Amino acid sequence: MTKSDLIARLAARYPQLVAKDADFAVKTILDAMAESLARGQRIEIRGFGSFGLNYRPPRVGRNPKSGEKVHVPEKHVPHFKAGKELRDRVDARLNEEAAARLAAPRVASADMAVAGN
């Protein structure tokens, strides 16, 4: 799903709004989130997850081509931790898929067994 897919889905769910509003709403939310992180402010969305910054201390790295030592300065990188509801929903689907595979063994695995013999 891309940003334009997301905008289209929101526009479809809110027929009372003009499509331009869904577009502007998505951009407003994403801009606010990006600006918060840039200011070092955390984002906490209950049931979805939290965003913050992780600190990376300065270190001596190497240019992989020349083997030369280079100083890599300290930096802050954005970090996301999925919330419980998101974690559970994503994982539940994996378990459903696994159960479905066990219930209906695929022909492909039978073919592979023959090829292996």
Instruction: Say whether residue 19 binds another protein (CB under 8 A).
Output: no
Stretch that binds another protein, among 12-20, 59-67, 103-111 (CB under 8 A): 12-20
Fill in the amino acid letter for 101: R
Is the Cβ–Cβ distance between 65 and 88 less than 8 Å? no
Instruction: Say whether residue 93 binds another protein (CB under 8 A).
Output: yes
Q: How far is 74 from 51, CA to CA, in rounded Å?
A: 20
* Cβ 5 to another protein shortest distance, Å: 8
Instruction: Say whether residue 6 binds another protein (CB under 8 A).
Output: yes
Stretch that binds another protein, among 46-54, 60-68, 99-107, 108-116 (CB under 8 A): 46-54
Is the Cβ–Cβ distance between 73 and 55 less than 8 Å? no
Complex with another protein: residue 39 or 106, whichever CB lies closer = 39
Is the Cβ–Cβ distance between 62 and 31 less than 8 Å? no
